Structures are given as structure tokens and as C-alpha cells.
Amino acid sequence: MLGFPKRFRKKTSVNALEAVFDQYEQAKPDHQNAINALPGWSSAFPIPLKLEAGKHHLYADDRIDWALRTFGSIKGKKVLEVGPLEGMHTYMLHRQGPARIDAIEANRLCFLRCLVTRQILGIDSASFLLGDIQAWLTDHEEVYDFALASGVLYHMADPGEFLRLLASRANAVFIWTHFFLDEAMPKGDVRRNPFSGKVITKTIADVPVRYYERSYQHANSNASFCGGMKDQHYWMHRDDILMLLEKLGYSDIVIKDQNFAHTGGPCFSLLARKPSAAK
């Protein structure tokens, strides 16, 4: 017999030869298979689809509904979405008929989940791009009619600079964010535990803004983690957010749903618009 001598031949069982490699899906083709292939889902899919993913029904988020009603029609407009998470807010934007959505996501797993959502929900007006939004805002010269930044500001290592860059590229922006406020989160409040106690002041567009240093306390080890790129990140003071936005040209600011009791820390929604943004 040609080949290796008998004493060097490796015995391979029939069962081992018949086993399917781990990287292949054996089940009947179905959208659920793609969902199951990626761990860490936070968002649920619309109930009629009967798909199992996360628990949060972000495809029907009343914060985004309010933002779109308050801003007005985005039909035919250019939209920027910062941190689309899993594409459910993108789906809400898509249903309003924008000309294009550029959705920038830095988390690799979140980005891949966005692509699955795009496929399942047919979000063909959106381009999902993987990378750093601040690099995009620095190098990309296009100005957007409307921007959505829900759940991103408080994850930033330099949130004031992010707002400065965003203001140079968006005529109107919706923001949902946590913020720091002593009277809303007094000493002894457990929600202060992730904060180091270090506060720095940085000048952005001639406005002094306070940064409150915070850590994720190893939350990034979970597949569902959707925070910022660095463990060291900063929350801005509520008043500084509003003052900086006004200084950056957003003269019309509407606040909604300010909540001092949120389990994650005080938060609010706001829509900020420049005079050039059509109502």
C-alpha cells in the first residue's frame, strides 16, 4: 500500500468524517439563523416577524417618533445616524423616505447585527459603515439635513469635540443622552459608583465644558456591550451640553423627557436645529 507505513497511519472514525464543520449552518435557511449566528442582541424585531433576538422594541421607539414629528419630514433628505446599534432606529428613519442614511457604527458585533437587520427589514436606503464617527466627521465634507445621535454622547472620550464636529456636518440633530447633574445624582447615589471623582474642564468653541470621568467596570467583556471605544469616557454636565449646542449654532433647542430618576443616570432627549434647517 502506498503512503505512510501502517504504524504512522492515524485512525479516523466514520462519525468524525461525517461531522459538519462548526462554521456551517445545517438548519433550513431562515432569518432566525442569521440572528442566532451573532451573540449579544439587545433589540427585538417587529412582532409579526416572529423572530427571537433581544428584548427592547427599538423599532417603535417613541423618542425617535417624537424627534421625527418635531423636526418635520425627512423625505428626500440626507440623514446621518451615529451609533445605529442594531439598525432598529435606522428602520424608523428608512420608513420616512429619506434620500440616504449614512449609519456609522464603531462596534464590530453591532455593525454585523446591523447588516442582519438591514437584510431582514429591507433597509435599502441605509449604508452601514464600520469605523470611528469622529474620523468620518473630520474627513467627510457633506452636510446632512438631519442627524440622529441616540445613546452615544455619554460614551465618548471627548464628547464636546464630538458635538463640535457634528455641528459642522448637521443642520439639525436629535440627541438622547445621560448627563451629570449634582442635584439629580447627589453624593451617595449608587449611580455615581462608576465615576472616578475626577472632573476636568475643556474649552470647546470658546465654551468651558466639564467632563466627569467614568469607567465601564468591565462591562465591555459581555457580547452585548455597546458602549464607547475606551474604558475612560466622560459625561458632560447638563447645562454645558445646552450651552455648547447653542454656541455651535443650534439656536432652536427643544427638550423632551428629562428624567432624573433613570437607573443609568439622569438623561434627556433634545432636538437642536440651526436657523438654516427647514421646519
Strand order in the sheet with 252-259: 126-130, 100-105, 78-82, 146-150, 172-178, 267-273, 252-259
Per-residue pLDDT, averaged over 110-136, amounts to: 97
- Please, is 109 exposed, middle or buried when counting C-beta atoms within 10 Å of its C-beta (0-12, 13-18, 19+)? middle
Q: Give the containing element (helix H, strand E) for 176.
A: strand 172-178
Segments making up each domain of the chain, as ranges: 58-273
Cα–Cα dist 95/278, whole Å: 20
Could you tell me how far CA 82 lies from the centroid of its own chain? 6
DSSP 84: -
Per-residue pLDDT, averaged over 134-145, amounts to: 94
Q: Does domain 58-273 have CATH number 3.40.50.150?
A: yes
Assess whether pLDDT exceeds 70 at residue 122: yes
Assess whether pLDDT exceeds 80 at residue 279: no
Per-residue pLDDT, averaged over 264-272, amounts to: 97
**Amino acid 277: pLDDT:** 75
Cα–Cα dist 17/87, whole Å: 40
Cα–Cα dist 236/226, whole Å: 19
Per-residue pLDDT, averaged over 72-87, amounts to: 98
**Amino acid 200: pLDDT:** 96
**Amino acid 276: pLDDT:** 79
Cα–Cα dist 108/172, whole Å: 27
Contact 97, 76 (CB under 8 A): yes
End-to-end Cα separation, the chain, in angstroms: 84
Per-residue pLDDT, averaged over 90-103, amounts to: 98
Assess whether pLDDT exceeds 60 at residue 130: yes
pLDDT digits (tens, 9 = 90+) for 203-259: 999 999 999 999 865 444 445 444 545 568 999 999 999 999 999 999 999 999 899
Residue 49's alpha-carbon distances to 18, 46, 52, 239, in angstroms, are 34, 6, 9, 43
The fraction of the chain above a pLDDT of 90, given in percent, is 81
Assess whether pLDDT exceeds 80 at residue 4: no
